[in-house]
Amino acid sequence: MKTTCPYCGVGCGVAATVDEAGSVTIAGDPDHPANFGRLCSKGAALGETLDPDGRLLRPWVDGRPADWDNALDLVAARFADTIAEHGPDSVAFYVSGQFLTEDYYVANKLMKGFIGSANIDTNSRLCMASTVAGHRRAFGTDTVPGCYADLEQADLVVLVGSNLAWCHPVLYQRLAAARAARPEMRLVVIDPRRTATADAADLHLAIRPDGDAALFNGLLVHLADTDALDRAYLAAHTEGLDEALAAARGLDVAGLAAATGLDAGPIARFFALFRDTRRVVTVFSQGVNQSTGGTDKVNAILNCHLATGRIGRPGMGPFSVTGQPNAMGGREVGGLANQLAAHMDLADPADRERVRRFWNAPCMPEAGGLKAVDLFQAMADGRVKAVWIMCTNPVDSLPDADRVAAALDACPFVVVSDAMADTDTTRHADVLLPAAGWSEKDGTVTNSERRISRQRAFRAAPGEARPDWWALVEVARRMGFGDAFPYRNAAEIFREHAALSAIDNHGARDFDIGGLAGLSDPAYDALEPVQWPARTAAEAALPDRRFFADGRFYTASGRGRLVPVIPPTARPAAADSFVLNTGRVRDHWHTLTRTGLSPRLSAHLAEPFAEIHPADARRIGAAEAGLLRIESDRGAILVRALVTDRVPSGSVFVPMHWTDRFASAARVDAVIPPATDPHSGQPGSKSATVRVTPYAAAWYGFAVLADRPRAVDAAYWALARAHNGWKLELADAAPVSNWAAWIRTLIGIADSDPAVQVLAYRDAKAGIHRVAAFRDDRLIGALFVGPDPVAVSRTWAAERLGDGPAEPRQRYAILAGRAGGDQPDPGAIVCSCFAVGVNRIVAAIAGQGCASVNEIGAATNAGTNCGSCRAEIQRIVDHARSRDTGIEKAG
């Protein structure tokens, strides 16, 4: 079955095969134009995430099982009663860029057309709202001009705030292949961190956080002063150049250096590369968007492309890559609180009337609704009294996350639809509704290059799980709107969505898929990936298409707008403060509800961490692999210290993924303030001011467990899946008085269980405790404790959970925490796709003479699938070359 990956906005095609036993094999779809058969580590491991463990299998009401009829009756009645008493703006939906387009469409139609409120927003507000606002200011509509092929056709690719190698790996591999074929092609990476992507760049600009707008303002001035503007294009097709240039000239050379944190030489080199290269693509992502000045950053980038006419043509243009699989589809149906369907404008009376008439809606809001951050504040202060949260986990993903949890507790009625029973958000629900997940639900998604692909069901949903659109339709029917929601399947919804996109258009709007409105159910089922616009069936069949090459835009004047941008003033940081940057890691996704199910994806980076510069670590007294407490006036987290010069001094980087289900105190958004961009409402998640102090642990521990522990009595713990069990990192400032009892509780051993044999080693004076427990000669748990971070091979120890009956010699090896000669230790996993550890790579260098990433790939397979580990392999090779004698192994 051909379907589409549910992770990032690249939108890779997936081929899923189900055997007679129900096992699923995943491969890339070689015919899909987004990936041509490639998959990243997350996509390749999708089959491992289909475990039914933890699924929400039936509705629950007030903590008790319920049936669908009673649960839906209650949802409809509570929403209707709240609206009757307090008005339509007293209720809200909060939805997700992981929705399918059909789910999104029904949710927006119900809220905006029939409830009569615009209080529907989406977690896409957290990742691409500033791009939407910037596009609309410059182009008149939210249009991504180019397509993926432009990255391969460009002579210069500029990545701004994008760790493409880790966050959009398949797109990065397309870029890497193009560079290998054309060595003259250049790559510039603009990012405060030296990421895996930056390692491959011809030029890395380690910019100060929030310095992007100043840098591109400076570029605009440089282009003007060196006669590099396209004056003919500007005169014929744009407006606003003089005002944009006047604003950009607000910084002199010294001011630009201060605002960006960059030396004059690298700035000049970047400016010259951009000036002298005609085919330039500028890719931007969350490092641009997730800022309180994100919209201005977007427009500063767009200004440079408009001013040089480098837009909408092969190999040139600005390119926003989205973080979620269907953030684009949500934008198409008006998923944000200030949008209408089909890229129509909620503030435009003509557009409102057009949509109202098409829907035959009884009421339409005349103003935008509450954006995500404001929406949860409205719950906290009592303005919103009923909310339905679908397919997202805001207690982890929104800023000021502890206050988000408190807001849900304060809200009188909370409904949560989710595939998983236990998330940090479902814990606050009055009603839980079981949702179908990937592989079970049917519909469409749109990727970052405007390409619509089918996501197809190839397995039955477990228990009583149902598609989200179905639950919405059932509630709409119970609220008296059944005639407007007659849908029997996703195809019927899609046809209506396509027909709405074409109504009264005649080229006035960019989004038009009217050519797909006549699809029959079988044609919808067989729909191949199609890039919009698709105004006719013939246009839908065309290959890669671009916008704005003809100089026609969707503004009132028909011209592209250069927007004046005034960068924020760089403020000196307090001596004891750090700038906190947040983001993703290579093998995990959002809040671990899916990737946390895969042992393979938990092998590379298995616990929350903070990257901190060595000079900063020395200054605050933090030790490598020790723990750091990171706090703001909003909250605090406790994470592992990763001391590295890959982050600049004065900053720390913490991933966003870990939740209260997987760690004791690592919800990084609890530390982020709720400040937002004034134009887009997008939170600034990349540059919070925090304090960082070392945590004085009395002991550290590591455990492998056959079963998930019911409770962990430690201030710091982080849990990760392993094959046949779990891995657990531990630490606490308080000593343990009775280690024997503590260990038995952790592993889940009854004192009187005669079937359990326990081996133990203790050096009380040194603070070392080691225990291995066996049932029927099989390992069920092992714990290693010491006064410092425990030097045990995590990968090797976890693999012992799957071993057959352990001989006495093997048991003592487990207690020692290291492999014997007959059990090679792979070391820390580097390549998740093929489970290749650092020790195996080092052995290939030392024993087989491998001297390059490609040679290591040939010897071990590492780096030969998604390629996102190639930068890390290169660093291992470089380290080996730099040593005068010998090669160190890592555990």
Q: Quickly list DSSP for 473-533.
A: HHHHIIIIIGGG---SSHHHHHHHHHHHHHTT-TTSSS---GGGTT--HHHHHTPPPEESP
Band (pLDDT 50/70/90 cuts) for residue 820 is: low
The whole-number average pLDDT for the span 723-730 is: 95
Strands 836-837 and 91-95: unpaired
Task: Report pLDDT for 812.
Answer: 85
Contact 93, 333 (CB under 8 A): no
With a CB cutoff of 8 Å and minimum separation 6, the contacts of 272 are: none
Contact 770, 815 (CB under 8 A): yes
Where is average pLDDT lowest: 4-18, 279-293, 688-702, 774-788?
774-788
Distance between CA atoms of residues 518 and 497, nearest Å: 11
Task: Report pLDDT for 883.
Answer: 65
Give yes or no for residue 611 having a pLDDT over 90.
yes
Task: Report pLDDT for 4.
Answer: 98
Tell me the residue ranges of DSSP E strands in 343-397: 344-345, 386-390
The whole-number average pLDDT for the span 621-645 is: 97
Where is average pLDDT lowest: 86-100, 572-586, 679-693?
572-586
443-485 pLDDT, tens per residue? 999 999 999 999 999 999 999 999 999 999 999 999 999 999 9
693-702 pLDDT, tens per residue? 999 999 999 9
Task: Report pLDDT for 891.
Answer: 35
The whole-number average pLDDT for the span 307-332 is: 96
Average pLDDT, the chain: 94
153-164 pLDDT, tens per residue? 999 999 999 999
The whole-number average pLDDT for the span 296-303 is: 98
Distance between CA atoms of residues 664 and 672, nearest Å: 18
Instruction: Compute the Cα dihedral for 233, 237, 240, 242 and give only its sign.
Output: positive
Give yes or no for residue 835 having a pLDDT over 70.
yes
Instruction: Compute the Cα dihedral for 528, 531, 537, 541 and give only its sign.
Output: negative
The H-assigned helical ranges of 759-828 are: 794-799, 808-816
Give yes or no for residue 75 having a pLDDT over 90.
yes
**By percentage, how much of the chain surpasses pLDDT 70?**
98
Distance between CA atoms of residues 779 and 738, nearest Å: 22
Q: For residues 703-729, b (16+ Cβ closer than 10 Å) or e, as one string? A: bbbbeebeebebbbbbbbbbebbbbbb
Give yes or no for residue 882 having a pLDDT over 80.
no
Residue 306's H or E segment, with its range, is helix 294-308
Q: Within 13 Å, how many C-alpha atoms sit on residue 815's CB side?
A: 20
Query: How many residues would you count in the chain?
Result: 891
Tell me the residue ranges of DSSP E strands in 709-861: 716-722, 725-732, 756-763, 768-775, 778-786, 829-831, 836-837
Contact 485, 45 (CB under 8 A): no
Contact 472, 113 (CB under 8 A): no
Band (pLDDT 50/70/90 cuts) for residue 816 is: confident
516-556 pLDDT, tens per residue? 999 999 999 999 999 999 999 999 888 889 999 999 999 99
Band (pLDDT 50/70/90 cuts) for residue 807 is: confident
Give the residue carrying structure tokens 């887009």.
680
From the list 113, 558, 111, 513, the residue with the least C-alpha distance to 343 is 513
Strands 560-561 and 317-320: unpaired
Q: Which residue has the higher pLDDT, 640 or 711?
A: 640
Task: Report pLDDT for 572.
Answer: 66
Give yes or no for residue 886 having a pLDDT over 50.
no
From the list 223, 242, 246, the residue with the least C-alpha distance to 308 is 223
Give yes or no for residue 887 having a pLDDT over 50.
no
Which one-letter DSSP state was computed for residue 603? S
Residue 346's H or E segment, with its range, is none
Instruction: Compute the Cα dihedral for 349, 353, 354, 355 and give only its sign.
Output: positive
Task: Report pLDDT for 659.
Answer: 97
Residue type, 637: I
Q: Which two tokens stand for residue 374?
A: 């404001």
Band (pLDDT 50/70/90 cuts) for residue 849 is: confident
Compute how many other C-beta atoms are within 10 angstroms of the C-beta atom of residue 111. Answer: 25
Task: Report pLDDT for 706.
Answer: 94
Question: What are the φ and ψ backbone dihedral angles of 888, each rounded to 5 degrees?
Answer: -75, 145
Give the residue carrying structure tokens 């509450």.
370
174-190 pLDDT, tens per residue? 999 999 999 999 999 99
211-269 pLDDT, tens per residue? 999 999 999 999 999 999 999 999 999 999 999 999 999 998 889 999 999 999 999 99
Compute how many other C-beta atoms are within 10 angstroms of the C-beta atom of residue 453. Answer: 29
548-581 pLDDT, tens per residue? 999 999 999 999 999 999 998 877 667 789 999 9
**Predicted structure pTM score:** 0.95
Q: In whole angstroms, what separates CA 888 from the centre of its chain?
A: 34
Distance between CA atoms of residues 198 and 187, nearest Å: 9
From the list 384, 388, 342, 348, the residue with the least C-alpha distance to 364 is 348
The whole-number average pLDDT for the span 73-96 is: 98
6-33 pLDDT, tens per residue? 999 999 999 999 998 889 999 999 999 9
Q: Which two tokens stand for residue 833?
A: 């796709």
User: How is 92-122 classified by DSSP, letter by letter?
Assistant: EEEE-TTS-HHHHHHHHIIIIIII----EEE
Distance between CA atoms of residues 527 and 550, nearest Å: 30
- From residue 423, give the alpha-carbon distance in Å to each of 15, 390, 397, 426, 429: 29, 12, 12, 5, 10
Distance between CA atoms of residues 597 and 591, nearest Å: 11
Give yes or no for residue 822 having a pLDDT over 70.
no
